[in-house]
């Protein structure tokens, strides 16, 4: 499932998530350390919902 | 409720770190000029290797050392499965595996699962505020993964770290499961 979240919305969600952590990381400089480009933070898409999948890659070996 | 913390992206890999979308290399074969690589993609895995080993390994990489004595070849991890899928026995259905169904078992059996009284499984409930859903680790499914690979994906794929008390509990139960002795019936 692809998620397309506006960047400003990610920042808002992200700040709220950081403030809830026991580390109490509410300082802006600590927030900036986290990967805000991570599009999996919004709570509307919880992690770990899907099942493991097998991926098979086939390729032909080319002769020189 | 299992408490977690966010990890700064450059911090070293630690016991209890939860990574998303981790690929496990199954096998590789070559036949008639066709190479086939099979791998399994796990939505979430948790790091099980002892933290002291990970700390020493990080120190070894960071500083110039005379020898590679503290180097780790790989890191032990285990998949985190969606608890609901585990209870229904369908968490590995995409791989063609049918697993034990807990749903319909006695109330005691199900309670044992959630209270971590079943030595094979470890239940983690991150609370309603967390984006992580209740998950179950099957200790039988641990596997090792190259530490360089984990290091290369940690910036984008590391989600959270389980708080120290909860990861100590997990570590102790995993070690206990590995060291169990099977007796003949």
B6 pLDDT band, cuts 50/70/90, is: low
Of B9, B79, B132, Cβ closest to residue A52 = B79
Of A22, A55, A61, Cβ closest to residue B39 = A55
Contact assessment for residue B126 and residue B136, using Cβ atoms and an 8 Å cutoff: no
Residue whose token pair is 């319909």: B104
pLDDT at site A6: 45
pLDDT digits (tens, 9 = 90+) for B20-67: 889 999 888 888 777 788 889 999 999 999 999 999 988 887 776 677
Record: contact A61-B34, CB cut-off 8 A? yes
Record: contact B129-A20, CB cut-off 8 A? yes
Q: Which of residues 99-158 of B touch A (CB under 8 A)?
A: 129, 131-133, 135, 155-156
Tell me the three state secondary structure of residue B22: strand
Asked if residue B130 has pLDDT above 50, the reply is yes
Q: Please state, in angstroms and as integers, the Cα–Cα distance from residue B69 to each residue in B9, B53, B66, B72, following that order.
A: 26, 11, 9, 9
pLDDT higher for A31 or B1?
B1
pLDDT at site B46: 95
Alpha carbon distance B49, B136 (integer Å): 18
Q: What is the mean pLDDT of residues B72-95?
A: 91
pLDDT digits (tens, 9 = 90+) for A17-54: 333 333 333 333 333 333 334 444 444 456 667 889 88
Asked if residue A14 has pLDDT above 50, the reply is no
Record: contact A53-B3, CB cut-off 8 A? no
**B20 CA to chain A: closest CA distance, Å?**
8
Chain A, chain B: beta-carbon pairs less than 8 Å apart: 111
Q: What is the mean pLDDT of residues B123-143?
A: 88
Contact assessment for residue B183 and residue B38, using Cβ atoms and an 8 Å cutoff: no
CA dihedral A28, A34, A37, A43 (to 10 degrees): -90
Residues 6+ apart with CB under 8 A from B35: A58, A59, A60, A61, B28, B29
Tokens of B84: 């609901």
Tell me the three state secondary structure of residue B59: helix
């Amino acid at each position: 499932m692809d998620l397309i979240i506006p960047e400003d919305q990610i920042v808002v969600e992200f700040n709220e998530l950081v403030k809830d952590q026991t580390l109490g990381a509410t300082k802006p400089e600590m927030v900036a350390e986290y990967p805000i480009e991570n599009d999996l933070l919004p709570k509307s898409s919880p992690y770990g919902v899907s099942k493991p999948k097998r991926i098979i890659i086939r390729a032909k070996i080319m002769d020189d | 409720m299992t408490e977690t913390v966010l990890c700064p992206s450059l911090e070293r890999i630690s016991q209890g770190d939860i990574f998303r979308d981790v690929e496990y290399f199954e096998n590789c074969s070559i036949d008639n000029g066709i190479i086939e690589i099979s791998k399994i993609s796990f939505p979430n895995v948790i790091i099980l290797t002892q933290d002291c080993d990970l700390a020493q390994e990080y120190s070894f990489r960071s500083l110039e050392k005379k020898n590679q004595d503290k180097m780790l070849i790989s890191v032990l991890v285990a998949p985190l499965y969606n608890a609901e899928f585990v209870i229904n026995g369908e968490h590995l259905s995409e791989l063609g595996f049918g697993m034990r169904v807990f749903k319909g078992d006695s109330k005691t059996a199900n309670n044992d699962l959630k209270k971590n009284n079943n030595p094979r499984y470890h239940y983690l409930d991150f609370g309603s505020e967390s984006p992580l859903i209740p998950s179950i680790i099957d200790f039988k499914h641990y596997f090792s993964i190259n530490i360089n690979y984990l290091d290369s994906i940690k910036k984008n794929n590391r989600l959270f770290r389980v708080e120290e008390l909860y990861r100590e509990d997990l570590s102790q139960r995993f070690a206990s499961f590995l060291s169990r002795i099977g007796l003949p019936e």
